[in-house]
Amino acid sequence: MSNSAKATVLLIDDELVNIKILSDVLKDDYVVIFASGGEEGVRRASESMPDIILLDIMMPDMDGYAVCARLQENRKTSSIPVVYVTALGSTAQEIKGLNLGAVDYITKPINEEIVKARIRNHLKFRRVVQAASRDDAVEEDSRQENMTERQREIFRWVREGKTNWEIAKIIGCSEENVKYHMKNILRIMGSYNRTQAVATHVRKRAPKD
């Protein structure tokens, strides 16, 4: 496969040894670029528009939380999936990162296969949404009128690419409760999985005369 056909991964970390570890894990499957600090990472993301960003938190010039917030504030970069890869492992730190808009949170030391699988899944989900949205207008599906307020909230986070576990942490309930609501959401949307539910949320724009 040529480089032009590969997705681009941006690594943002002030420790070059961490960049090398992740680069070695990903270089066979992706085009890997990197930034050695937060400010540089924000600039590189805007210039290169990578398909996904792996972001450290503890950096001296601008920490990963601030980087993620900056990326979310910029309309150009706000849709790029951000995955934290960090040594900070507390629940509070993870919730903070996810609430800022990250799609995932991986703690160090990393498991290579888990990192690969999560990146692959996030990129697959992004491609599905992009394909469904291309030349289409996104509008509210009338079926959402049959959802409860909680179900609409959960479905909104599903469209952002969050997992059941992440949604449970964000909205403050159990993962089992999220799964229960997801079953009803899929039934209402007439879908057999969350990816199809998101795709059916996107309606094709009526042809212009």
pLDDT, mean over the chain: 86
135 vs 113, more confident: 113
Say which CATH topology domain 3-132 has: Rossmann fold (3.40.50)
- Estimate the crossing angle of helix 194-201 against helix 112-133, to 10 degrees: 30
Classify the C-alpha dihedral 163-95-129-31 as positive or negative.
negative
| Domain ranges for the chain | 3-132, 139-203
Global model pTM greater than 0.85: no
Q: Are 44 and 66 in contact (CB under 8 A)?
A: no
Is residue 90 within 8 Å of residue 70, measured between CB atoms? no
The rounded distance, in Å, linking the Cα atoms of 49 and 89 is: 28
Span 139-203: which CATH code? 1.10.10.10
User: Tens digits of per-residue pLDDT, 32-58?
Assistant: 999 999 999 999 999 999 999 999 999
